[in-house]
């Protein structure tokens, strides 16, 4: 039994001179072809109106989200949706009542519409995040991870809707079935789920973003973050190698993010040298006069001498022996020199902590630590500044009558052995004889050593 539209088309074909038995199977094909042609024309007209006419009409209108509203990809998605809707509405007229083919075609049309809608929202969110990436507040945010979360959610929703259309089931029933098999899914997709959760945590808590310098102990990661996604974190090491780290690795263990240092006023220098404690002593007047020849110390030493010249009323010494408890030491003057030296360097940020301090003495000597911040944070320049400072520190140590502790090397032991070999041995004196070198008093008396020894 044919539909009314099919009968009308059959009669029209017969009127055109087509034989009735040919018109019986040709009428349905003609109706389907007309529907497809109509859908194609609708697609072309919509694409022309939306993509060409509408974009040209608003091309001179400049507003914040203009690129998003009139993007060709989004307008094309909308243009592709209308023809399928026309097919969905008109396809039942091409088949007789009770036929199962229109329902199957309509299911395909609904699935296609769902796919087009998902593609539309996917393109919409991609363009939105691309625009946000160009804005200053969002430029350094890991937006790609958030975009991937939305894309995964869209895919899940789309799959559930498509299966519900195919099997004519409510989406709630499918969700219930997924809940029952959640344990199996978690076991099979354990790594993917952990990576997904780790990526969500990294993005939500702003733990890192592209451009950050991170270090992960034990994994060989020491470089700049290039990209943060839900499955991987791409890092370019300083040797130009690229490493991929699962986000869960960064969430489950500690990692060091140096971005705070990069955004601060300086990069910290904290290094020490070991001073031999046997070289530490009180300063004599001659030593102080020699230290005054160093320009940085002249004013400091004059000030200290003036302070030490004043009596200290807080000290009560009952011992009649006068002991000067306020004597300068060479290591104290050396510490003062380093403090003055660090503060006068232009590359040192004196607004941050800057100090010279002693650490706990060790068997290798007493560590003298320099703690300051370099205003230049670029790696190569920072290392050069640090090296220049300690070149000067190590070279100036002997000027303060101090020694840097260093464990003896093979060369030191070799020199010691050679010195022992080159030392002339003293001949032994036979028993009962006197050495050739006699005392001056014996030579003046002109007598024999034995005679002087028995003289009363």
Note whether 107 and 84 are within 8 A (CB): no
Contact 247, 231 (CB under 8 A): yes
| Shared-domain flag, residues 106 and 43 | yes
Into how many domains does the chain fold? Answer: 3
Residue 223 located in a structural domain: yes
- pLDDT of 450: 38
Task: Say if residue 117 is in the same domain as residue 208.
Answer: no
pLDDT 10s digits, 286-321: 999 999 999 999 999 988 888 877 765 454 545 444
| Domain limit, last residue, from 349, 377, 400 | 400
d(CA 7, CA 13): 10
Question: Listing from the earlier edge strand, what are the strands of the sheet with 233-237?
Answer: 242-245, 233-237, 221-228, 213-216, 256-257
What is the pLDDT, as a whole number, of residue 136?
66
**Letter string b/e over residues 180-215, b meaning 16 or more CB atoms within 10 A of that residue's CB:** eeeeeeeeeeeeeebbbebbbebbeeebbbbebbbe
Mean pLDDT of 355-360: 92
- Strands 366-374 and 256-257 come out as unpaired
- Classify residue 407: in a domain, yes or no: no
pLDDT: which is higher, 86 or 356? 356
Q: Does residue 49 sit within a domain?
A: yes
The answer to whether residues 8 and 44 belong to one domain is: yes
Q: Residue 217: which pLDDT band, with cuts at 50, 70 and 90?
A: confident
Q: What is the mean pLDDT of the chain?
A: 76
Q: Do residues 218 and 294 both lie within one domain?
A: no
Q: How confident is the model at residue 55 (pLDDT cuts 50, 70, 90)?
A: low
Mark whether 382 and 276 lie in a shared domain: yes
- State whether 273 and 381 are in the same domain: yes
Give a yes or no: residue 293 inside a domain: yes
Confidence of residue 446 (pLDDT cuts 50, 70, 90): very low
**Domain range enclosing 170:** 166-260
Whether residue 255 sits in one domain with residue 271: no
User: Of 75, 104, 139, which residue sits at a domain end?
Assistant: 139
| pLDDT of amino acid 21 | 62
Which is higher by pLDDT, 144 or 351?
351
More confident residue, 106 or 426: 106
pLDDT of residue 53: 66
- Are both 78 and 20 inside the same structural domain? yes
pLDDT tens per residue, range 263-287: 677 888 999 999 999 999 999 889 9
- Residue 23 falls inside a structural domain: yes
pTM recorded for the entire structure: 0.50
- Strand ranges, E, within 366-417: 366-374
- Asked if residue 220 has pLDDT above 50, the reply is yes
Residues 102 and 130 both lie in one domain: yes
Percent of the chain clearing pLDDT 70 (strictly above): 71
The stretch 355-359 carries a mean pLDDT of 92
pLDDT tens for residues 16-54?
Answer: 777 766 666 666 677 778 888 888 888 888 777 776 766
Beta partners for residue 225, in sequence order: 235
pLDDT band at 59; cut points 50, 70, 90: low
């Amino acid at each position: 039994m044919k539909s009314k539209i099919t009968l009308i088309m059959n009669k029209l074909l017969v009127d055109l001179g087509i034989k009735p038995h040919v018109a019986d199977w040709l009428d349905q094909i003609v109706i389907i072809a007309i529907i497809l042609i109509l859908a194609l024309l609708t697609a072309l007209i919509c694409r022309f109106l939306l993509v060409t006419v509408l974009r040209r009409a608003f091309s001179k209108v400049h507003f914040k989200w203009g690129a998003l509203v009139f993007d060709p990809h989004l307008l094309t998605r909308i243009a592709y949706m209308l023809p399928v809707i026309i097919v969905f509405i008109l396809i039942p007229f091409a088949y007789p009542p009770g036929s199962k083919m229109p329902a199957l075609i309509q299911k395909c049309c609904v699935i296609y519409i769902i796919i087009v809608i998902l593609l539309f929202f996917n393109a919409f969110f991609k363009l939105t995040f691309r625009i946000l990436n160009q804005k200053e507040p969002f430029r350094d945010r890991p937006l790609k991870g958030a975009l991937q979360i939305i894309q995964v959610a869209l895919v899940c929703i789309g799959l559930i809707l498509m299966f519900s259309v195919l099997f004519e089931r409510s989406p709630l029933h499918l969700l219930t079935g997924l809940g029952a098999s959640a344990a199996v899914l978690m076991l099979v997709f354990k790594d993917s789920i952990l990576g997904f959760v780790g990526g969500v945590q990294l993005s939500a808590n702003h733990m890192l973003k592209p451009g950050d310098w991170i270090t992960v102990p034990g994994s060989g990661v020491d470089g700049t973050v290039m990209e943060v996604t839900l499955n991987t974190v791409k890092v370019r090491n300083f040797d130009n190698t690229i490493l991929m780290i699962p986000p869960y690795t960064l969430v489950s263990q500690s990692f060091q993010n140096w971005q705070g240092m990069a955004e601060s006023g300086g990069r910290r220098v904290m290094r020490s040298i070991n001073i031999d404690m046997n070289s530490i002593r009180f300063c004599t007047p001659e030593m102080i006069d020699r230290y005054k020849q160093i320009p940085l110390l002249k004013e400091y030493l004059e000030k200290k001498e003036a302070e030490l010249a004043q009596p200290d009323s807080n000290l009560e010494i009952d011992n009649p022996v006068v002991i000067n408890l306020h004597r300068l030491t060479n290591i104290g003057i050396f510490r003062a020199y380093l403090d003055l030296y660090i503060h006068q360097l232009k590359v040192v940020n004196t607004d941050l902590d800057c100090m010279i301090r002693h650490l706990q003495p060790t068997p290798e000597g007493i560590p003298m630590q320099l703690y300051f911040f370099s205003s230049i944070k670029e790696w190569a320049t920072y290392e050069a500044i640090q090296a220049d400072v300690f070149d000067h520190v190590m070279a100036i140590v002997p000027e303060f009558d101090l020694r840097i502790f260093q464990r003896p090397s093979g060369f030191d032991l070799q020199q010691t052995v050679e010195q022992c070999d080159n030392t002339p041995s003293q001949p032994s004196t036979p028993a009962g004889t006197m050495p050739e070198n006699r005392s001056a008093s014996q030579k003046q008396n002109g007598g024999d050593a034995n005679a002087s020894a028995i003289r009363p």
